[in-house]
Amino acid sequence: MGLLTIAYKNLKKNFSFYSLYFVSVAFVLMVFFSFISFAMNDIIMEKISSDGRVETMSKTVAGFVMAFVVFYMSYSNTFFLKRRTKELGIYSLLGYRKSSMLKLLTIENVVICLFSLLTGIIFGAILHHGIIKVIVRGLKLQIETSTIPLFNYGAILFTVIFVLAVLIVLYLSNWFVLRNSSVLNLVRMEKREEKKIKVRMSLSIVGLLFMVIGYILAFDITRGVESLWKTIGFSPMALLAMLTVVIGTIFFIHSFLPFSIHKLEQRKNWLYKEMNIIVLPNFKYKIRTKSKTLILLTLLAAGTLSLFASTVLSVYYPVAATERIIPSAIEFPVEDKDTASKAIEIVKGTNNVENMKYNETTIIQAMSSSAILPSEYKVKDASGFDLISESDYRKIIELQNKATKIKTLKDDEAILVKYRPEEGDPDKGNVYTLNLSASDNVTVSVKETTLLNPIGFANSMATLIISDTLYQEIKTFGLPEKTIMSIDGQNMRDNKEVYENLVPLFKDNPYFASSYQRNKDITQANSSTFLLIAFVTIIFFVATGSILHFHNISSIMADKDDFMILNRMGYNNKMMKKIINKQILALFSIPYVLGVTHSIFAIIAYKSALMDDLLGRNSAFIIPVLIAVIIFTIVYIIYYVVTKRACYKVIFTN
3-state secondary structure of 361: strand
- Residue 12 falls inside a structural domain: yes
Q: How far apart are CA 629 and CA 148, in angstroms?
A: 36
Q: How far apart are CA 129 and CA 126, in angstroms?
A: 5
For the chain, the farthest-separated pair of C-alpha atoms sits apart, in whole angstroms, at 108
Among candidates 20, 6, 9, which has minimal Cα distance to 545? 20
Q: Are 526 and 314 in contact (CB under 8 A)?
A: yes
Among candidates 377, 379, 380, 477, which has minimal Cα distance to 417? 377
- Residue 198 falls inside a structural domain: no
Q: List CB contacts of 297: < 8 A, sequence separation 6 or more.
A: 544, 547, 548, 551, 590, 591, 595
Q: What is the pLDDT of residues 437-455, one digit of tens each?
A: 888 899 999 999 988 899 9
pLDDT at 280: 63
- Residue 43 falls inside a structural domain: yes
Indicate the Cα dihedral angle 379, 385, 386, 390, nearest 10°: 130
**410 is in which domain, residue-wise?**
354-490
pLDDT at 193: 46
pLDDT at 194: 45
Domain boundary among 424, 458, 490: 490
Q: What is the number of other CB atoms lying within 10 angstroms of the CB of residue 442? A: 17
Q: How far apart are CA 311 and CA 533, in angstroms?
A: 7
According to DSSP, residue 484 is labeled E
Domain boundary among 457, 490, 523: 490
Beta pairing, strands 481-490 & 385-389 = unpaired
Angle at 391 between CA 367 and CA 430, to 5 degrees: 40
Q: What is the pLDDT of residues 15-50, one digit of tens each?
A: 666 676 777 778 778 878 887 887 777 666 665 555
What is the number of structural domains in the chain?
Answer: 2
Q: What is the number of other CB atoms lying within 10 angstroms of the CB of residue 216? A: 12
pTM: 0.73
Dihedrals φ, ψ of 445, to 5°?
-105, 135
- Residue 465 falls inside a structural domain: yes
pLDDT at 444: 92
Among candidates 423, 429, 426, which has minimal Cα distance to 444? 429
Strand-pairing partners, residue 444, are 432
Domain boundary among 169, 192, 215: 192
Burial pattern 365-378, b for ≥16 Cβ within 10 A else e, equals bbebeeeebbebbe
Q: Which residues of the chain have pLDDT under 70?
A: 1-18, 20, 42-61, 64, 79-80, 82-96, 98, 135-147, 180-199, 262, 264-289, 380-383, 524-529, 531-532, 558, 610-612, 617-619, 654
- Residue 107 falls inside a structural domain: yes
Mean per-residue pLDDT over the chain, rounded: 79
Q: How far apart are CA 375 and CA 367, in angstroms?
A: 14
- Residue 63 falls inside a structural domain: yes
Q: What share of the chain is helix, strand, coil (3-state, %, to 5)?
A: 70, 10, 25
Among candidates 377, 364, 368, which has minimal Cα distance to 432? 368
- Residue 441 falls inside a structural domain: yes
Beta pairing, strands 431-435 & 441-450 = antiparallel
- Residue 50 falls inside a structural domain: yes
